[in-house]
Amino acid sequence: MVMAMLNIKVPISAQDKLRALVTEAGLNKSQIARLTEVTYQTVYRWLDHGIHPHPAAARRIDELFKEMIDLEPIVIRLKQNIRDPIAFINTQENLRDEFILQCTYHSNSIEGSRMTLKETQKAIEGEIVRGKQPFEIFEAVNHRNAMLFMLETVRPGFHITEEYLLKLHSIVMYNFHDKLPGRYRTGYVNLTNTEKILPPAQLVPAKMKTFLETINQPPDKPLTRIARDHYEFETIHPFFDGNGRVGRLLMNTQLLSQGYPPALIRIDDQYKYYLGLGKGDMGDFKILIQMICESVVIGYLLFQSKYNNTQ
């Protein structure tokens, strides 16, 4: 058996987060009502009758959950259920295909792709996708190929090198010649919706050298370190384009090589993801760490559902 799954309940739904606030943060119904600005009776219905909170309340519950519950120990427990996540993915074709499809769709959507999940699946399976531009098809196929390269290359304890990083970028940006596939940017770029100043092009090679020297060092808190590394990569922004997609592939390279399930950051969580990166500008990484931990939980649940289907 490649993987031995345990039935660990991981907080993910609004009800799960509410129960965690009670059992782990020690809040009672009255306190939750006050913090979410609803009545005691409303919280009672949420907890004891399974009534789903309305969207505004669900967002506040999520904020409280991130403030009061540390997800990193939960993710570390999930790691104990997986002997070798890379081997499991590569020996379960249905899991590998679903993982690649989901990551490709969501990662490209975060970057502005208009492709639906079904259209993404058609593109990566070589089918005709009507009504889409060639570049949209290339983005889907390229990301699929980059993920295949990652899964074929990464092993437990794998060290990320400049050669590996540039190869990922060359695959992600294949056919986009003006974006310098596999090469660092040679000019200025800026980030939308932020005042963050990015380093000039002439400093990128030196900054990436330092980044690659530190990314493989054993961390005390792996998930915290991976979140900070992801932030650091995105603030260097070493390429003209593809930084988000390559950065998330690097994140999963780190997770898989250290024995964790992969992170699946969904388009639905785009706001929280960018908020976490933005908070990093002020030295606050809590939201980004929790965001990545939640995304690992989602990846684990994908593992679990596919594993259960093989039994």
Do residues 129 and 194 both lie within one domain?
Answer: yes
Among 10-19, 213-222, 294-303, name the one with the lowest average pLDDT. Answer: 10-19
Whether 1 is covered by a domain: the verdict is no
How much is the pTM? 0.85
Do residues 14 and 89 both lie within one domain?
Answer: no
Whether 3 is covered by a domain: the verdict is no
Whether 269 is covered by a domain: the verdict is yes
pLDDT in tens, 60-80: 998 898 788 888 888 888 888
Identify the top-confidence range among 15-24, 146-155, 297-306: 146-155
What's the confidence (pLDDT) of residue 241?
Answer: 96
Q: How confident is the model at residue 157 (pLDDT cuts 50, 70, 90)?
A: very high
Do residues 103 and 58 both lie within one domain?
Answer: no
> Contact at 8 Å (CB) between 88 and 53?
no
pLDDT in tens, 188-200: 998 776 678 899 9
Do residues 48 and 96 both lie within one domain?
Answer: no
> Contact at 8 Å (CB) between 186 and 180?
yes
What's the confidence (pLDDT) of residue 193?
Answer: 64
Nearest to 233 by CA among 157, 292, 175: 292
What's the confidence (pLDDT) of residue 75?
Answer: 86
Do residues 98 and 60 both lie within one domain?
Answer: no
Q: What percent of the chain has pLDDT over 90?
A: 69
Nearest to 267 by CA among 74, 125, 29, 105: 105
Number of domains in the chain: 2
